[in-house]
């Protein structure tokens, strides 16, 4: 236990100011997203802008690319949620059919293996398969959250669990702690959104 704890604590002590800022912004994003607040998107924009630089510097190119995608989706999410807010109190939560999930999981898994193969054979990318997995499924889950699809939280629980190993392996101890907290918050997000979905369904059926 101590053999693991000591290097982990050393990594935390060595955490840069940029990583601290990225983590704080990321936590703010998720807490605001759970509350369905429009202001989650500016927090996401700030966090992802920093992570683009951090991950590129340690040869996690897919993570850097992913955060560039997050940057774009933060802008898209802002307009998606804001557009609905001008017409009604807030954008409604959706549930996708199981068949759609199976199709999207199949397509995304194919992209994972293709990108992992290309990265492993043509770049200096570390952890090509794990990085590809977290990247492509995070792309899918991020789109789901912009559309307020309830199941996005279940995807994030799996993605965040895998991400912890990746970040610990690359020395991002604080970010690993962040993603552990993400797992807990994803459970909370699932329960909160599910409750809101049931309330909006009940109101629609009146």
2-35 pLDDT per residue, tens: 454 566 566 666 678 888 899 899 889 989 988 8
Contact present, 104 and 140 (Cβ < 8 Å): yes
Given a cut of 80, whether residue 164 has pLDDT beyond it is yes
User: Across residues 77-99, what is the average pLDDT?
Assistant: 78
Locate the domains of the chain by residue range. Answer: 16-204
Query: What percentage of the chain reaches a pLDDT higher than 70?
Result: 88
Q: Do 130 and 119 form a contact (C-beta atoms < 8 A)?
A: no
Q: According to the model, what pLDDT value does residue 2 have?
A: 47
Q: What is the pLDDT of residues 35-75, one digit of tens each?
A: 889 899 999 999 999 989 988 888 778 778 889 999 999 99
Average pLDDT, the chain: 86
Q: Helix 98-122 vs helix 61-85: angle between axes, to the nearest 10 degrees? A: 150
The Cα-based distances of 27 to 87, 123, 130, 206 in angstroms read 29, 32, 23, 37
pLDDT number for residue 13: 64
The pLDDT of residue 126 is: 77
């Amino acid at each position: 236990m101590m053999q693991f704890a000591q290097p982990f604590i050393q990594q935390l002590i060595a955490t840069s100011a940029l990583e601290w800022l990225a983590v704080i912004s990321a936590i703010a994003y998720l807490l605001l997203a759970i509350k369905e607040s429009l202001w989650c998107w500016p927090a996401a924009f700030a966090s992802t802008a920093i992570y683009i630089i951090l991950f590129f510097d340690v040869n996690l190119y897919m993570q850097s690319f992913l955060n560039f995608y997050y940057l774009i989706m933060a802008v898209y999410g802002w307009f998606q949620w804001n557009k609905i807010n001008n017409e009604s109190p807030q954008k409604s939560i959706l549930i996708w059919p199981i068949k759609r999930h199976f199709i999207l999981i199949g397509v995304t898994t194919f992209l994972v293996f293709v990108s992992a193969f290309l990265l492993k054979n043509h770049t200096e990318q570390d952890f090509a398969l794990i990085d590809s997995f977290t990247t492509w499924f995070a792309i899918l889950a991020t789109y789901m959250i912009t559309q307020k699809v309830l199941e996005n939280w279940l995807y994030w629980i799996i993605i965040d669990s895998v991400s912890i190993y990746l970040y610990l392996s690359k020395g991002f101890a604080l970010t690993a702690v962040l993603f552990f907290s993400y797992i807990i918050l994803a459970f909370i997000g699932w329960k909160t959104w599910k409750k809101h979905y049931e309330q909006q369904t009940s109101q629609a059926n009146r």
